[in-house]
Structure 1
Amino acid sequence: MYFTDRGIEELVDRRGEEEVSLLWLGERLREFVDLNPEFEIPIERLATWLARLDDEDE
Structure 2
Amino acid sequence: MYFTDRGIEELQKRRGEEEVSLSWLADRMVEFVDLHPEFEAATERLATWLARLDDDED
Coarse TM-score class (shorter-chain normalised):
over 0.9
**Higher RCO, Cα 8 Å, sep 6+:** 2
TM-score by length of 1: 0.97
TM-score by length of 2: 0.97
Structure 2 unmatched ranges of 5 or more: none
Cα RMSD for the two superposed structures: 0.9
Question: How many residues end up aligned between the 2 structures?
Answer: 58
Structure 1 unmatched ranges of 5 or more: none
Identity of aligned residues (%): 76
- Runs of 4+ in structure 1 off by over 6 angstroms are none
